[in-house]
């Protein structure tokens, strides 16, 4: 399942504190957390972005383009909270997220 851990802070493991080392991440964004992104081990299941600075491109399906696929994901996730389609991180997928996709249409840089 796709998740986003962004702009969190804690004593350790601002984005994710994993004490068991049995977590597998798939299509997950972990960025701009402090003091660190991930504390503990994890398995990279593919499609993950782990970075100090969050990506600017709203490419929800991670194919390198903002296109109709991303638009359809926003429509499918409309009204949901904690969705990867919540591009402005306001806890709901709505018209603002749709406009972010349309406003960034094309190839990611």
CATH of the domain at 69: 1.10.1330
pLDDT of residue 66 exceeding 90: yes
- Do 8 and 44 sit in the same domain of this protein? yes
> What pLDDT score was predicted for residue 73?
96
- Do 43 and 73 sit in the same domain of this protein? no
Examine residue 39 and state whether it is found in any structural domain, yes or no.
Answer: yes
pLDDT of residue 2 exceeding 90: no
> What pLDDT score was predicted for residue 8?
87
- Coil, helix or strand for 95? helix
Instruction: Give the model's confidence band at 23: pLDDT under 50 very low, under 70 low, under 90 confident, else very high.
Output: confident
pTM: 0.55
CB 108 within 8 A of CB 65: yes
- For the sheet containing 49-51, what is the strand order? 3-6, 28-31, 49-51
- Do 70 and 100 sit in the same domain of this protein? yes
- Do 9 and 43 sit in the same domain of this protein? yes
pLDDT of residue 39 exceeding 80: yes
Highest mean pLDDT among 26-35, 38-47, 70-79, 91-100: 70-79
Q: First-to-last CA distance in the chain?
A: 25
Range of the domain at 84: 65-107
Domain count, the chain: 2
- Do 69 and 46 sit in the same domain of this protein? no
- Do 39 and 73 sit in the same domain of this protein? no
């Amino acid at each position: 399942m796709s998740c986003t851990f962004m702009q969190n802070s804690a004593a350790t493991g601002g984005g994710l504190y994993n004490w068991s080392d049995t977590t597998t991440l798939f299509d997950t964004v972990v960025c701009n957390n402090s003091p660190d992104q991930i504390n503990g081990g994890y398995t990279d299941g593919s499609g993950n972005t782990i970075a100090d600075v969050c990506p600017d491109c709203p490419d929800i399906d991670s194919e390198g383009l903002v296109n109709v696929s991303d638009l359809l994901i926003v429509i499918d996730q409309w009204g949901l909270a904690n969705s990867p389609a919540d591009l402005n991180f306001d806890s709901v997928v709505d018209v603002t997220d749709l406009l972010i996709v349309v406003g960034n249409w094309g190839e990611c840089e």
